[in-house]
Chain A
Amino acid sequence: DAGITQSPRHKVTETGTPVTLRCHQTENHRYMYWYRQDPGHGLRLIHYSYGVKDTDKGEVSDGYSVSRSKTEDFLLTLESATSSQTSVYFCAISGQGDTEAFFGQGTRLTVV
Chain B
Amino acid sequence: AQSVTQPDIHITVSEGASLELRCNYSYGATPYLFWYVQSPGQGLQLLLKYFSGDTLVQGIKGFEAEFKRSQSSFNLRKPSVHWSDAAEYFCAVGADNNNDMRFGAGTRLTVKP
Contacts and interface: CB of A to CB of B under 8 A. Distances in A.
Interface of A: 31, 33, 35, 40-45, 48, 50, 56, 58-59, 90, 92, 94, 97-106
A31 B102 CA distance: 15
B90 interface: yes
B46 A100 contact: yes
Interface residues of B, number: 27
Interface of B: 1, 4, 6, 9, 32, 34, 36, 42-46, 49, 51, 90, 92, 94, 97-106
A90 B106 CA distance: 15
B51 to A, nearest CB: 5
A105 B39 CA distance: 11
B1 A59 contact: yes
Contacts of A103: 36, 43-45
B90 A42 contact: yes
Contacts of B36: 103
A80 to B, nearest CB: 26
B90 A99 contact: no
A56 B100 CA distance: 10
